[in-house]
Amino acid sequence: MENLLNFFLLLLLFALFPLLQALQWRTQQNNLNNFEGSSDFVNLEYHMGPVLASPINLYIIWYGHWNPNLQDIIKDFIFSLSPPPSSSHRPSVADWWRTIELYADQTGSNITGTIRLSGEFHDSSYSQGNYLSRLAIQHVIKNSITSQNPTPLPLNPYTGLYLVLTSSDVQVQNFCRAVCGFHYFTFPSVVGATVPYAWVGHSGKQCPGVCAYPFARPEGSEAPPGSGIMGAPNGDVGADGMVSVIAHELAETSSNPLVNAWYAGDDPTAPTEIADLCMGLYGSGGGGGYVGNVYRDYWGNGYNLNGVNGRKFLVQWVWNPVQRRCFGPNALD
């Protein structure tokens, strides 16, 4: 009788084995998704404000002394957001931007898929000094518009977005300690109109381990197991690190330009926005300091997106409002 009972228990175990495997696989998948930021509890809400639905005219202000090679890296990323057809291999920067295009305003108008580099201004004289407060960034924009320089930027309150990029020798309030970049809108009393803008700093000398991770190890710390400090795909830790921060700020400026559109949390002065939700995630399985599954080029440099002119970039993921998780076009699932 005991042998017969053992026999039936063995048969039951064999019958349940496929089910147990399926449950284990489902648990692993759920853990993987949660590790990538997936959650039914992320309270990302629309607060009735505008998004940037019209084609964006982007104006770059190069503040400080810039190496033209580094400028080319950043401009190629901008060109990759709205490239000519078939100009980039997939997954591409344009594919990444399509997640941002999923966000819409109260009229049903989605964020635009067209971003044009419409002007550049070179403030190599450090018009506001070598240290900039957050408010001073607006004065940098004002100077680019009112300058006697032969080619000042236009003041475009309708479709303009101003991107201030500071060189590696410029210190900015809270840079490296609390922020690597930020976005806001200008005050008419300073600039002459309300326009969205963003700032990003070159961290190559000041804090590459903070603002250009995973291209540099955080100072005084060990990299998380399996994270792997990797080479910068375009050869400059600071500029390659800036690309992801620029992407982060452009995504959030487009979805929350006046800080009253898409964000999570109850405090509009400190919103958690669509890129904040996915900080540090670049590929499937990412989280806890591990960037996720990304590609490596011949030299072992890390990237997850392709751009124009053969460029490769490592750009963080953003929150996908349809899938309700962090997502990028290099996702494995």
Q: Does residue 9 carry a pLDDT above 70?
A: no
Q: Which element (helix H / strand E) includes 264?
A: strand 262-264
**Predicted local distance difference test score (pLDDT) of residue 259:** 96
Q: What is the mean pLDDT of residues 87-95?
A: 91
Considering only CA atoms, which of 176, 174, 182, 172 is closest in space to residue 131?
172
Given a contact cutoff of 8 angstroms between Cβ atoms, the answer to whether 263 and 256 are in contact is: yes
Looking at the structure of the chain, the number of domains it has is 1
Residue 28, domain member (yes or no) = no
Given a contact cutoff of 8 angstroms between Cβ atoms, the answer to whether 302 and 82 are in contact is: no
Q: What is the pLDDT of residues 48-90, one digit of tens each?
A: 999 999 999 999 999 999 999 999 999 999 999 999 887 779 9
Residue 15, domain member (yes or no) = no
Instruction: Write down the pTM of the prediction.
Output: 0.87
Nearest 10 degrees: CA dihedral of 314, 317, 323, 329?
A: -10
Q: What is the mean pLDDT of residues 169-185?
A: 96
Domain that holds residue 143: 51-327
Residue 35, domain member (yes or no) = no
Residue 88, domain member (yes or no) = yes
Residue 217, domain member (yes or no) = yes
Q: Does residue 27 carry a pLDDT above 50?
A: no
What span, in angstroms and rounded, lies between the C-alpha atoms of 258 and 314?
28
Q: Does residue 125 carry a pLDDT above 50?
A: yes
Residue 23, domain member (yes or no) = no
**Predicted local distance difference test score (pLDDT) of residue 148:** 87
**Predicted local distance difference test score (pLDDT) of residue 221:** 63
**Predicted local distance difference test score (pLDDT) of residue 223:** 54
Residue 173, domain member (yes or no) = yes
Compute CA distances 103 → 126, 291, 327, whole Å.
37, 25, 14
Q: What is the mean pLDDT of residues 99-109?
A: 98
**Predicted local distance difference test score (pLDDT) of residue 224:** 54
pLDDT grade for 117, boundaries at 50, 70 and 90: very high
Residue 2, domain member (yes or no) = no
pLDDT grade for 15, boundaries at 50, 70 and 90: very low
Give 284's DSSP letter. Answer: B
What span, in angstroms and rounded, lies between the C-alpha atoms of 316 and 97?
11
Alpha helix ranges (H) inside the chain: 2-35, 68-81, 93-100, 134-146, 188-191, 208-211, 237-255
